[in-house]
Amino acid sequence: MSCHLSSGPDPRAVLLDHFGHPSFRPGQRELVDTALTGRDALGVLPTGGGKSLCYQVPALILEDLTVVVSPLVSLMGDQVRRAEEVGLPAAALHSALPPRARREVEHRLAAGALQLLLVAPERFGSPAFCQILPRLDVSLFVVDEAHCISSWGHDFRPAYRKLGEARRRFSAPVMALTATATPMVRRDIRKSLRMSDPLELVNSFDRENLFWSVVPASGRSAKDRILGSLARSGRGARLIYAATRRRVERIRNGLARLGLRAEAYHAGLPASERDRVQGYFMGAERPLVVATNAFGMGIDRSDVRLVVHDQLPGSLEAYYQEAGRSGRDGELARCVALFSRRDRFVHRAFLDRSHPPIHTPWRCWRAWKEGGLVQRLHRRRVEKRKHRAVNEYARTSRCRRKALLGWFGELPPTSKCNACDRCVAF
Integer Cα distance of 294 and 327 in angstroms: 20
- Per-residue model confidence as pLDDT tens digits over 295-347: 876 677 889 999 999 999 989 999 998 999 999 899 999 999 999 987 766 66
Under the banding of pLDDT at 50, 70 and 90, the label for residue 37 is very high
pTM of the prediction?
0.82
- Per-residue model confidence as pLDDT tens digits over 42-81: 999 977 668 999 999 999 999 899 999 998 887 788 889 9
Q: Can you tell me the mean pLDDT for 261-289?
A: 94
Whether 235 has a pLDDT exceeding 90, the answer reads no
Alpha helices, H only, 117-237: 127-132, 158-161, 163-167, 183-192, 220-232
- Per-residue model confidence as pLDDT tens digits over 186-222: 999 999 999 989 999 999 899 999 999 999 998 889 9
Name the average pLDDT for the chain: 87
Under the banding of pLDDT at 50, 70 and 90, the label for residue 3 is very low
Integer Cα distance of 59 and 7 in angstroms: 13
According to DSSP, the residues that pair with 422 across neighbouring strands are none
Would you state the pLDDT for residue 127?
Answer: 86
- Reading phi first (left if > 0) and then psi (alpha if -120 to 50, else beta), residue 38 is in left
Whether 4 has a pLDDT exceeding 60, the answer reads no
Q: Can you tell me the mean pLDDT for 266-273?
A: 92
Under the banding of pLDDT at 50, 70 and 90, the label for residue 13 is very high
Which of 410 and 241 is assigned the larger pLDDT? 241
